[in-house]
């Protein structure tokens, strides 16, 4: 699908992503789920997002020349915020470029080489005394003398006598929390793996983790095959409510996909499935319930009630996943029906609760999720942006896949970037934001969201823009690509209706932000940082998102920071650290869930937010 | 099989046992698993074992006349140690007649009518607020607000949304420890049951418990169908080691039997299987492992290593038992390969650890288990008595079933009691002990265990005894019943070889007692009490067991106390009380396991113990 993209491999994790030439390294890293530290907000000043591009690095930017020595530049040192991908390449990510929540893990790993921080799964190699005259300790007590107390299930209880004897009472105990999972012959400590999965409505991303090093061995991603049953969570909830087999079908579809991804990961890393002892899952509330086979019907009607609040710990085998037969799966806790485990993951991975000064975490999607940390208090809300950013309800809209115009720049004339370097087929969310921002800047669009007709244009509008204005269904419209430029011979036109849809989507998120801030007695300009999580957010241009009012425009652009796939990052953390699980539980329960639809000011705030800044 | 026995029903538990007319009420109660308090040791002095026999009570004994008022006697008050069964009858057991370990439970039950002491399974009726605008708490958090935190498995997680909504958010939560087991519509608190099972090598006894009242609703017992594969544990271990399907077969046989007994119990009590939320099992180490389907092979060879030490908690459904689908089964902890959960149960039920003064708990069987409490220290050992007490290896031996001579008295002449009031078929263990004791008393048997020939008899031997001496295989032998008296026309003869077998059996137990005492620096006369647990011990005559040296003869008979089926009593306690489980674990781990076969003095002690007292 993305034939013209080039591979970028990140080391030491070995993840490979495919991106267009010219994509910034920060974006490529985010695409691979790697969040880089960028305290200066991507201005190339702090030097924190340093990477090493051993071969084929771009020419250094002035900022990079400032930050690095000549030797370093020669060795391939670059700043992710300043460099872009010029061809297939390999990039080394130093641990120091990862934000604190990652570093903590890695630092601890250095202190205790056999244990990454405090993973739930621990392996202990033991050589037990052999039973003999005067030593008739029961098998499990013999093990407990070496390991401390643990619990054991029926399966292992039945297997343990033979396992111990076949191994000559020497081997590796696998413990998960307070439970003995297995006893493996010989020293298998080096082989201890987990899989962290981001269960997105649209995309599934799974990362195979080495529990000793805390590093990723492989990452797999694919379209969530549930999309065949409906693009958004509401259509899937509807299927469950209406089709007798709907829940089973949706559950089996996603379980099969995750199981296949696990197969892909173990094959790529050359490990055995039974060496995966732990699974973690992060997704929105509906996706998490569908993954667990829990009826999400109550999420489809007011007041949108989830089933579990705390994160359930479930046997992977009961879920239908083929890893170690006694592996457990932990699903992230949720805050509400539309503020799910992925938001909790984001709060966890970005350290939102410890942020200095008022900080917002925003995940832009069909449902925008917004979390605010201010004065030690956490609040979160979701807001129904609708599917405009995914291309739906936009006349020439499409997903961010091959053929999508994903970038629009006005640089003397209108220029576009098309995913896959093919003739354009449509306009995806990031391109839509770009286009609207440029039209606002150049006076083709009023702050109220009206496309001007040719005769209403202000003076000095660029000819290349002015000539693209047409009349469509009695309203002004803007031609992005003519018949001759597109793949299928139809022009790509932004209509007045499309602008209204964008206003609704951006307005919903902006209204949510405004109300959350208002409840905390804050103004947008008080924000020290706006963290962008979720898949889509990492592909938008910050300045353009500010221009259309999707993100607060009252703050400097560098306070807005891409965080990559924070849902996956959170799932990784809870696979590596028991403390992270407790923190996730605390975050979910500490966070006040604000129901915007109940908020008396929501309609007014929403109406106001529909107007673009400057209006 | 026991057609001539009469039913005795105990209230309030409703248990019915079938006993011979003339059986003491103490024995009948023990047979029903009811242990009565008897601080005076059955002398009729303390009045603690009082019962009420509303209809058809025997004539009061002088001791009873002393203890009770005329009105009380009229109302049927009797002492269990003084009364015997004269026909089908119903007996009321006051709570005050139960020993402290039982009383504790009942007393607490009175204080908190909805909870018996601290059962692991608790029911809570809740009426939850309905979800609505401004209250979108997740289902499980809504429940947790009412119940406190709990864990939940995948099965219930999937069922809970429908269960809560169908019940209108009002119903009964079933909690087991920290786990939510179920949510039942309406108030089902009154229906909360458990089954405690004594898994004996020969006999299975299961008691259905009302967890609210702490009382028994029904008791079922049957022959352990595993006996078809071998009478003793070693033959069953051998089957597992030699037959590829042996373990599965033995496991399925006992599980099927237990499941049928549960069916019997629920039918008799008129309750539903799904209202049984908890199972407990107490048996010897091998039986417990076979019940769990855990290979007992290592129990069949030195150093006889059990698999689990602590008591495993296992899902009843995984064991193949049909009760509540999420019910758990708890199996008692074991001390060693031949000092199992039944001994721990006995220690728990008799309060051995808190006994005043040195106290011994003895379970006489194929394996004699002995536990000693002295100076706050607990020790335990097993000793291989062999199957003589069960009738094996005795030429005219048989189990204690219909046709067995179970009692021998010399009262001017030799008199016998036969189970079922039928012509005798053989001699069971209690009869064998009686006979040997009488032969010793009347000089027909020397302390060294030699049967005297007619010409070696001392003066004044009763003619009825003297005439029974014959010569058999060149040795003296004693005719217990002639051809004309037995059912099959063969005489019942006690041979010199039979006496040797009895010496081996009694000597093994006596040697164990002597060595345990010796390690504690004690003499038999230091013992304040000898508690008799296990099925067989409750049928022997104490004075005769003392006469042959099976039990310490150096102490007054009243210090020897029957405790009934202490294995079942312990299983009951741990079904009713979480604290009892912890105590059982502590007891099992606190108790020093003495391996007599390793003891340097064992051979000498055993050789000495072979000689009957007085030699």
Q: Nearest by CB to A133, which of B295, B303, B310?
A: B303
Kindly report the CA angle at B595 between B592 and B597, in degrees rounded to 5?
Answer: 165
Measured CA to CA, the distance from residue B17 to residue A310 in angstroms comes to 51
Give the pLDDT confidence of B337-368 residue by residue, as tens digits. 999 999 999 999 999 999 999 999 999 887 89
Give the pLDDT confidence of B241-273 residue by residue, as tens digits. 999 999 999 999 999 999 999 999 999 999 999
Q: Nearest by CB to B303, which of A131, A140, A337?
A: A131
Distance from CA of B199 to the nearest CA of A (A): 18
Whole-model pTM above 0.90? no
CA-closest candidate to residue A492, choices A470, A475, A474: A470
Measured CA to CA, the distance from residue B378 to residue B359 in angstroms comes to 10
CB contact under 8 A, B334 and A593: no
Report the C-alpha dihedral over residues A294, A299, A303, A309, rounded to 10 degrees.
Answer: 40
Sign of torsion over alpha carbons A60, A61, A64, A66: positive
Distance from CA of B100 to the nearest CA of A (A): 31
Residue B510 has a CB neighbour count (10 Å cut-off) of 30
Q: Are A309 and A589 in contact (CB under 8 A)?
A: yes
Measured CA to CA, the distance from residue A445 to residue A36 in angstroms comes to 36
User: Does an H or E element contain A383, and which?
Assistant: strand A377-384
- pLDDT at B613 (0 to 100): 94
Measured CA to CA, the distance from residue B78 to residue B89 in angstroms comes to 13
Give the pLDDT confidence of B268-319 residue by residue, as tens digits. 999 999 999 999 999 999 999 999 999 999 999 989 999 999 999 999 999 9
* 3-state helix vs strand vs coil in chain B, percent to 5: 35, 25, 40
Q: Nearest by CB to B158, which of A136, A151, A293?
A: A293
CB contact under 8 A, B307 and A157: yes
Sign of torsion over alpha carbons B30, B36, B37, B43: negative
Provide the pLDDT confidence category of residue B111 given band limits of 50, 70 and 90.
very low
CA-nearest residue of chain B to A338? B136
CB contact under 8 A, B139 and A334: no
Q: In what order do the strands lie in the sheet with A179-185?
A: A121-127, A170-176, A179-185
Q: Which residues pair with B614 in a beta bridge?
A: none
**Residue B269: both structure tokens together:** 């009590």
CB contact under 8 A, A154 and B304: no
Residue B455 has a CB neighbour count (10 Å cut-off) of 6
**Residue A241: both structure tokens together:** 């409510």
Residue A248 has a CB neighbour count (10 Å cut-off) of 12
Interface test mutation site (partner A, options B133, B136, B163, max chain A beta carbons within 10 A)? B136
CA-closest candidate to residue A207, choices A256, A253, A265: A265
**Residue A209: both structure tokens together:** 């983790």
CA-nearest residue of chain B to A317? B154
Measured CA to CA, the distance from residue B282 to residue B580 in angstroms comes to 13
CB contact under 8 A, A154 and B337: no
CB contact under 8 A, A318 and B154: yes
**Residue A191: both structure tokens together:** 């082989």
Reduced to 3 states (helix: H, G, I; strand: E, B; else coil), residue A155 is helix
User: Does an H or E element contain A111, and which?
Assistant: helix A100-111
Reduced to 3 states (helix: H, G, I; strand: E, B; else coil), residue A314 is strand
Report the C-alpha dihedral over residues B331, B256, B181, B106, rounded to 10 degrees.
Answer: -60
**Residue A277: both structure tokens together:** 């002892």
Give the pLDDT confidence of B527-542 residue by residue, as tens digits. 999 999 877 777 888 9
CB contact under 8 A, A308 and B152: yes
Provide the pLDDT confidence category of residue B28 given band limits of 50, 70 and 90.
confident
Measured CA to CA, the distance from residue A331 to residue A117 in angstroms comes to 20
Q: Which of A539-553, B70-84, B86-100 has the lowest mean pLDDT?
A: B86-100
CB contact under 8 A, A314 and B157: yes
Measured CA to CA, the distance from residue B294 to residue B315 in angstroms comes to 15
Contacts of A304 in chain B (CB under 8 A): 136
Q: Which stretches in chain A have pLDDT values below 70?
A: 1-4, 13, 31, 33, 35, 37-42, 95, 98-117
- pLDDT at B4 (0 to 100): 61
Q: In what order do the strands lie in the sheet with B77-79?
A: B15-19, B6-11, B89-92, B50-52, B77-79
- pLDDT at A110 (0 to 100): 26
Q: Are A194 and A121 in contact (CB under 8 A)?
A: yes
Give the pLDDT confidence of A227-275 residue by residue, as tens digits. 889 878 999 999 999 999 999 999 999 999 999 999 999 999 999 999 9
Distance from CA of B297 to the nearest CA of A (A): 9
Contacts of A309 in chain B (CB under 8 A): 137-138, 140-141, 144
Please state whether beta strands A193-199 and A276-283 pair in parallel, antiparallel, or not at all (unpaired). Answer: parallel
- Taking one residue from A and the other from B, the number of pairs with CB-CB distance under 8 angstroms is 143
Average pLDDT over residues B319-326: 98
Q: Give residue for tokens 């036109």.
A: A493
Asked if ipTM goes beyond 0.85, one says no
CB contact under 8 A, A303 and B337: no
Distance from CA of B143 to the nearest CA of A (A): 10
- pLDDT at A487 (0 to 100): 86
Reduced to 3 states (helix: H, G, I; strand: E, B; else coil), residue A312 is coil
Q: Are B146 and B212 in contact (CB under 8 A)?
A: no
Q: Are B195 and B262 in contact (CB under 8 A)?
A: yes
CB contact under 8 A, A305 and B133: no
Interface test mutation site (partner B, options A147, A148, A160, A161, max chain B beta carbons within 10 A)? A161
Measured CA to CA, the distance from residue B270 to residue B531 in angstroms comes to 36
Q: Nearest by CB to A304, which of B136, B155, B157?
A: B136
Contacts of B292 in chain A (CB under 8 A): 154, 157-158
CA-nearest residue of chain A to B312? A152
CB contact under 8 A, A303 and B136: yes
Measured CA to CA, the distance from residue A260 to residue A264 in angstroms comes to 6
């Amino acid at each position: 699908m993305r034939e013209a993209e080039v591979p970028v491999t990140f080391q030491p994790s070995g993840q490979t992503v495919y991106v267009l030439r010219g994509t910034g390294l920060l974006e490529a890293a985010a695409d691979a789920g790697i969040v880089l530290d960028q305290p200066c907000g991507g201005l190339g000043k702090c030097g924190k997002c340093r990477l090493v591009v051993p071969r084929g690095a771009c020419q250094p930017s002035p900022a990079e020349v400032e930050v690095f020595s000549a030797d370093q530049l020669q060795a391939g040192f670059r700043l992710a915020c300043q460099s872009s991908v010029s061809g297939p390449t390999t990039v080394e990510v130093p641990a120091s470029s990862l934000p604190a929540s990652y570093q903590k893990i890695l630092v601890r790993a250095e202190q205790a080489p056999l244990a990454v921080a405090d993973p739930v799964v621990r392996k202990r190699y033991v050589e037990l005394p052999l039973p003999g005259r005067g030593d008739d300790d029961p098998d499990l007590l013999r093990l407990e003398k070496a390991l401390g107390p643990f619990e054991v299930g029926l399966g292992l209880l039945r297997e343990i006598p033979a396992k111990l004897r076949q191994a000559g009472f020497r081997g590796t105990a696998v413990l998960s929390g307070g439970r003995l999972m297995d006893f493996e012959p010989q020293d298998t400590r080096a082989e201890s793996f987990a899989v962290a999965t981001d269960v997105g409505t649209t995309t599934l991303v799974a990362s195979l983790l080495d529990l000793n090093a805390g590093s990723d061995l492989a990452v797999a991603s694919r379209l969530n095959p549930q999309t065949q049953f409906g693009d958004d969570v509401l259509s899937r909830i509807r299927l469950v409510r209406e089709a007798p087999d709907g829940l089973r079908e949706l559950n089996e579809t996603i379980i099969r996909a995750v199981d296949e991804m696990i197969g892909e990961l173990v094959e790529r890393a050359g490990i055995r499935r039974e060496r995966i002892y732990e699974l973690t899952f992060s997704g929105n509330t509906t996706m998490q319930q569908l993954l667990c086979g829990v009826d999400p019907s109550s999420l489809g009607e007011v007041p949108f009630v989830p089933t579990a609040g705390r994160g359930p710990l479930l046997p992977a085998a009961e879920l239908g996943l083929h890893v170690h037969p006694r592996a457990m799966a932990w699903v992230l806790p949720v805050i509400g029906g539309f503020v799910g485990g992925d938001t909790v993951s984001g709060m966890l991975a970005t350290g939102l609760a410890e942020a200095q000064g008022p900080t917002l975490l925003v995940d832009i999607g069909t449902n925008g999720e917004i979390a605010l940390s201010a004065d030690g208090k956490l609040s979160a809300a979701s807001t129904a942006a609708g599917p405009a950013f995914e291309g739906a309800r936009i006349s020439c809209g499409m997903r961010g896949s091959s053929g999508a115009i994903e970038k629009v720049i006005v640089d003397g004339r209108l220029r576009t970037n098309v995913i896959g370097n093919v003739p354009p087929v449509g306009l995806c969310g990031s391109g839509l934001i770009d286009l609207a921002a440029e039209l606002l800047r150049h006076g083709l669009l009023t702050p109220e969201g009206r496309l001007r007709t040719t005769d209403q244009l202000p003076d000095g509008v660029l000819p290349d823009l002015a000539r693209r204005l047409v009349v469509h269904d009695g309203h002004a419209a803007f031609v992005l690509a003519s018949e001759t430029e597109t793949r299928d011979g139809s022009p790509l036109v932004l209509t007045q209706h499309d602008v209204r849809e964008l206003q609704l989507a951006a307005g919903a998120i902006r209204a949510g932000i405004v109300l959350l801030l208002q409840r905390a007695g804050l103004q947008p300009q008080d924000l020290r940082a706006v963290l962008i999580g979720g898949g889509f957010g990492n592909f938008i241009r910050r300045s353009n998102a500010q221009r259309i009012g999707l993100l607060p425009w009252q703050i400097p652009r560098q306070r807005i920071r891409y965080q990559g796939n924070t849902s996956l990052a959170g799932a990784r953390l809870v696979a590596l650290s028991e403390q992270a699980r407790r923190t996730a539980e605390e975050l979910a329960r500490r966070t006040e869930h604000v129901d915007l639809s109940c908020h008396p000011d929501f309609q007014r705030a929403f109406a106001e937010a529909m107007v673009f800044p400057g209006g």
